[in-house]
Structure 1
Amino acid sequence: MIFYILGILLKIIFFLSCTVLVLLIIEKAKLIFFPHLCTCYVDLSGKAILITGGNTGIGFETAKILAKRGAKLVIASRNVAKSQAAVRAIIDASGNPKVEHKPLNLKSLSSIKQFADDFNRTYGRLDVLINNAGTVEINRTSTNDQIDSTFQINHVGPTYLTQLLMDKIIASKPSRILFVSSNAHFLHNLDSNDIAGKEPMNVWVRYANTKLGNVLVSRGMSKVLPEQVTVNSLHPGTTKTEIWEQGPLFVRKVINFLMDNFMKTKEECAQTIVHLAMARSLANVSGKYFDILRAVKTHRVVTDELAQQYKDTLRLIDDRVKKFEKINTN
């Protein structure tokens, strides 16, 4: 029995290592053959930008770059102490004092609602919303809203946040919405009959499903938004961030070794996000998927028809919110 379990673990480790290695080799090859640094120097003074998960990793590097361009930045994240330290570091690096933190827990629909209500009351405009926060939860859990945690943090939560801030975004046009996705969406196995992610599946498929969800919601929203409000999704690239710091120690060591030797830097991964947030050439581009500063093809299942299934996410949110309100009024 022990040898059987050990054999399964070794197969999982081998599969993960090979997958990560292939992805990282592809990432490095793209850096060689395609320009990957955003060279559009736009003055963002007077612009208000909200970025989730801007206290660490790619989000932190993105926030630093945008702050240097003069934007007013709101970092939305759960860890208050880490976020306050990140705000100070961004201000020090950019010389821009217009950076602050607001607490947001994407694992809770009620927290998202509270955040959005506060933001809508406090801020006069929202020029760019960057849905950047994400996770990979090795041990499968569900939120209090009875949704798979990875799916809620990566997809359902950002979709709900976007909907709650939509009036502010439209009133601020020209404005932009970004969903950070991943080329991992090519590995999806999304079941539209299990949008809450209750059925068992391995961690990488669950993660891929969340990223496919972001591609779909971006494309679907682009069909209904008014002119001068754009929404796009993107693959930032693969880098060594806290998102990988889960799972058995040996698995982490293998993945970290591969990333130490093949990965992009966090600053390189921030470039496509920054480009989509401010490039004048993209002012009227919407519903596209970007990688290395360019619009690229998604998985072939991503069609306008399937993209309309993002409304399934909205219905799921509506169902969970109504249940939450009912519990609190009884």
Structure 2
Amino acid sequence: MDVYPDNDVSAYSGAPRPAWKRLLADIEGGTIDAIVCWHVDRLTRSPRELEDVIDLADRRGVEPATVTGEIDLATPTGRLIARMLGTAARHEAEHKAERQKRQRRQSAEAGKVSGGGMRPYGYAEDRITVIDEEAEVIREAARRMLAGESLSSVCRDFRTREITTPAGGYWTPTTLRRLPASARISGRREHTPRSADDDGLAEEVRADEEQLEELAQAWAAREISRKEWMAARAPIDARLEKSRAQLARMSRTSPLLSFIGTAEEMLSRWEAMNVSQQRAIIASAVRTVTAGPACCKFTARREDSVSR
């Protein structure tokens, strides 16, 4: 007997479920002949996962059971009930996510302080009281960056002086870059709606792109060797490719909604986009590109003249 917990994993975000994947692998391997869970919506988080369980139950003879009552996946009626329960659970998860999204937007429009997570640098836990020492660090960083000093140089100096982030870690060029660009350091409330589908992937893509840019700057300034630069960017490139592919699978048309307009408007928006945003637009508009060998036909009209 074994326990397969997937704690703190949203039912709607689509985030990976390691324990769920391990359970499916063990069922496929024939090491499990029965599954016990609290309720069917605790076992599967989507109708697609429920179909996986039904398929495995057919092929491997696994018998699922719940504390609230047994589910007989061997009969059409039992499968119907399981599918109805799974669909209802999915609807409730989506409805709850929509309510939370509206609530966050309303709080932002009302200027209320956002809660949760680590406190922002420069503010106390109430996110209103300014910490003078940290505020001076922000002003110093802004002055040095405006004077042309590199982010890497400022971060190294902060590390030497033991100036850390609210989490207790050292500053990196990526985190330091976002600090002076944040609206909250000027006392404003910032709200960036995020689709529940991407689960922060877009932010991860932007962070990885910034890291690649910082690596290029460090190499150009001869702070790192070419070998170090290539070794450092390899895992970032691989991670970027995977994240971009996931974003493309999640939605291929949504980027166009805010892009479509007149020719002048679309050209202006295109020029203001970064590489990742431009890639999303192309992926939304183009499904496949087929490249074939060039075919040229020549016809001889005169011995000294050949025209295509």
Both structures adopt the same fold (TM-score exceeding 0.5) = no
TM-score w.r.t. length of structure 1: 0.21
Which of 1 and 2 has higher RCO (CA within 8 Å, sep 6+)? 1
Is the strand fraction higher in 1 or 2?
1
Larger radius of gyration: 2
